[in-house]
Amino acid sequence: MPLFKAIGTAEYDVVYQGQPGAFSEDAAFDFVSRNSRLLGVKTLQDVFDSVAQGQAPYAVIPVENTLAGPIDETYDLLAQNDLIIIDETVQTISHCLIVPKGMLIEDVRRVLSHPIALAQCEQSLKTQLKMEPVPAFDTAGAVELVIREKIPHTGAVGSARSAEVYGGEVLRSGIQDHPENYTRFLFMCAPDNSEVERPSSDSLKTSICFQVPHSERRDSRVLRPFVECGIPLTNVLSRLVRGSDFESVYHVDFIGTMESPGVGEAIKQLKRGTRDVKVIGTYPLRVATIRETVRSDSP
């Protein structure tokens, strides 16, 4: 994967959610060199705000995991903000049980970590390790807190690298519920960043989102323009719009660009029964698994 060069005069090159040792930091190094200046922030909203405020030209955000599913907050922020996707990567996620040095596994009663990480280890924590999961804002942050404070009977779930960064001890490796555990990350920038040099690729995909009234909320009707125009879809996600009259926001990824044959006609048909059609980005096709995730629950 080609590396993106630092651009502009911002203090940092890439912003991510978490702190040193986080999986998002690892993902950032798929896009930029190891000597790049990375900024870790507390929340995903902070990631978007940091780019909008000019603290960094690039952002890395997790969008979905093969065990925990789509990251709802990310999809909300993609629809609500102006950043555009310029690339993607997939990281293999291997979780470790990490404790302060000298703590025995039989002494650990609870573990701290990000809710998504805890969800990926749910059965392992419940049935094998018999430890109580406690949500924290970040995997690496949880590891750092547990080791710094030496909280009695408490460990953390994080990466092996975070244990090295903060001087912890790995008691168990690979505690996720399934060994095939992957997270897809998006690499993003501001829409007016004309200095960005996009990687070349023979295959491209485009991400869009749009809102659908309650009366039109049938997948067969909503997606018909893509089918009729022969446009391959790689991802479809639908969930209710917070505070609306049961409107849905759809996120759709399709193979091709906005200039590809049939796309213009499909978008024209799509706009007849939807509103706020937004292009979130066109970028190299690196994840091509076809899947649909229709969420009827409220966000």
Q: What is the pLDDT of residues 205-254, one digit of tens each?
A: 999 999 998 765 566 788 999 999 999 999 999 988 876 777 889 999 99
Provide mean pLDDT across the span 279-295. Answer: 69
Determine whether 293 is exposed, middle or buried from the number of CB atoms within 10 Å of its CB (0-12, 13-18, 19+): middle
Residue 5 domain flag: no
Residue 241 contacts residue 247 (beta carbons within 8 Å): yes
Residues 63 and 79 in one domain: yes
Residues 140 and 280 in one domain: no
Residue 68 domain flag: yes
Residue 116 domain flag: yes
- Grouping H, G, I as helix, E, B as strand and the rest as coil, residue 113 is strand
Q: Which amino acid is at 180?
A: E
- Inform me whether the pLDDT recorded for 291 exceeds 60: no
pLDDT of amino acid 201: 63
Neighbours of 52 (CB within 10 A): 13
Neighbours of 262 (CB within 10 A): 15
- Inform me whether the pLDDT recorded for 299 exceeds 60: no
Question: Which CATH number does the domain housing residue 43 bear?
Answer: 3.40.190.10
pLDDT of amino acid 286: 83
Residues 185 and 84 in one domain: yes
Residues 64 and 185 in one domain: yes
Provide mean pLDDT across the span 265-269. Answer: 95
Give the model confidence (pLDDT) of 35-92 as tens digits.
Answer: 999 999 999 999 999 999 999 999 999 999 998 899 999 999 999 999 999 999 999 9
Residues 185 and 45 in one domain: yes
pLDDT of amino acid 218: 67
Give the model confidence (pLDDT) of 96-140 as tens digits.
Answer: 999 999 999 999 999 999 999 999 999 999 999 999 999 998 999
What domain range includes position 158?
96-173
126: Cβ–Cβ under 8 A, 6 or more apart, which residues? none
Residue 6 domain flag: no
Residue 9 domain flag: no
Question: Which CATH number does the domain housing residue 259 bear?
Answer: 3.30.70.260
Residues 151 and 110 in one domain: yes
What is the rounded distance in angstroms from the CA atom of residue 288 to the CA atom of residue 290? 6
Residue 4 domain flag: no
Residues 185 and 70 in one domain: yes
89: Cβ–Cβ under 8 A, 6 or more apart, which residues? 1, 27, 30, 31, 184, 185, 187, 286
Residue 242 contacts residue 176 (beta carbons within 8 Å): no
Residues 62 and 49 in one domain: yes
Residues 70 and 185 in one domain: yes
Per the structure, the count of domains in the chain is: 3
Residues 273 and 166 in one domain: no
- Inform me whether the pLDDT recorded for 9 exceeds 60: yes
Residues 185 and 81 in one domain: yes
Task: Tell me the pTM.
Answer: 0.88
Of residues 39, 41, 49, 32, the one with CA closest to residue 12:
39
52: Cβ–Cβ under 8 A, 6 or more apart, which residues? 81, 82, 83, 190
Q: Please tell me the total number of residues recorded for the chain in this structure.
A: 299
Phi-psi region of 69 (alpha: psi -120 to 50; beta: other; left: phi over 0): left
Residues 185 and 83 in one domain: yes
What is the rounded distance in angstroms from the CA atom of residue 158 to the CA atom of residue 267? 42
Residue 195 domain flag: no
Report the DSSP pairing between strands 38-41 and 14-17: parallel
- Inform me whether the pLDDT recorded for 294 exceeds 60: no
What is the rounded distance in angstroms from the CA atom of residue 240 to the CA atom of residue 297? 7
Residue with the larger pLDDT of the pair 213 and 278: 278
- Catalytic residue list: 183, 185
Q: Residue-wise over 53-68: b if at least 16 C-beta within 10 A, else e?
A: eebbbbbbbbbbbbbb
- Identify the sign of the CA torsion 25, 254, 192, 83: negative
Residue 2 domain flag: no
